[in-house]
Amino acid sequence: MWRHATTPAGINTEFEPWMRMTVPRRLRDTSLDEVELGVRVCRSWVLVLGVVPFEYDDLVIVERGPGLRFLERSSTLVARTWQHERTVVATDHGCRLTDRISLEPRSAVGRVPGSAAMVRRAVEAIFAHRHRRLAARFG
């Protein structure tokens, strides 16, 4: 499950069919466990329905471990800072995957009335979808 949840193909499987993230060809078989810490890995475009770009992620992994854990601290079109921590912990019945998200919106986004609530709902919906996809695959 960890290998799946940290590779471009696995991440895109979580997003399907609504979204897809691009990755340079040289990184297509690379896990987040293999990238250099604290260095921008790439700009990954987020494509709605796999075609229309609506967001990007300047991906930076800043920490790994202990155990099966990574911490991403990136910038995006909407967020000056996007932080995503993913952990996988063994349980008696398999494992538990947890995502923790925080973000600091860019000032232009923050000035739009209702934008914070809209972004929060969108992120919650995206990660709920991702977790449903993972549960369907891994049980």
> Alpha-carbon distance 80 to 119, whole Å?
13
What would the two tokens of residue 62 be? Answer: 């800043």
DSSP 65: -
pLDDT in tens, the chain (139 residues): 898 989 999 999 999 999 999 999 999 999 999 999 999 999 999 999 999 999 999 999 999 999 999 999 999 998 999 999 999 999 998 899 999 999 998 887 777 888 888 888 999 999 999 999 999 999 8
What would the two tokens of residue 134 be? Answer: 């993972």
> Alpha-carbon distance 110 to 120, whole Å?
12
SS (HEC) of 88-102: EEEECCEEEEEEEEE
CATH code at 77? Answer: 3.30.530
| Residue range(s) defining the domain that contains residue 27 | 2-138
pTM recorded for the entire structure: 0.91
Report the domain count for the chain.
1
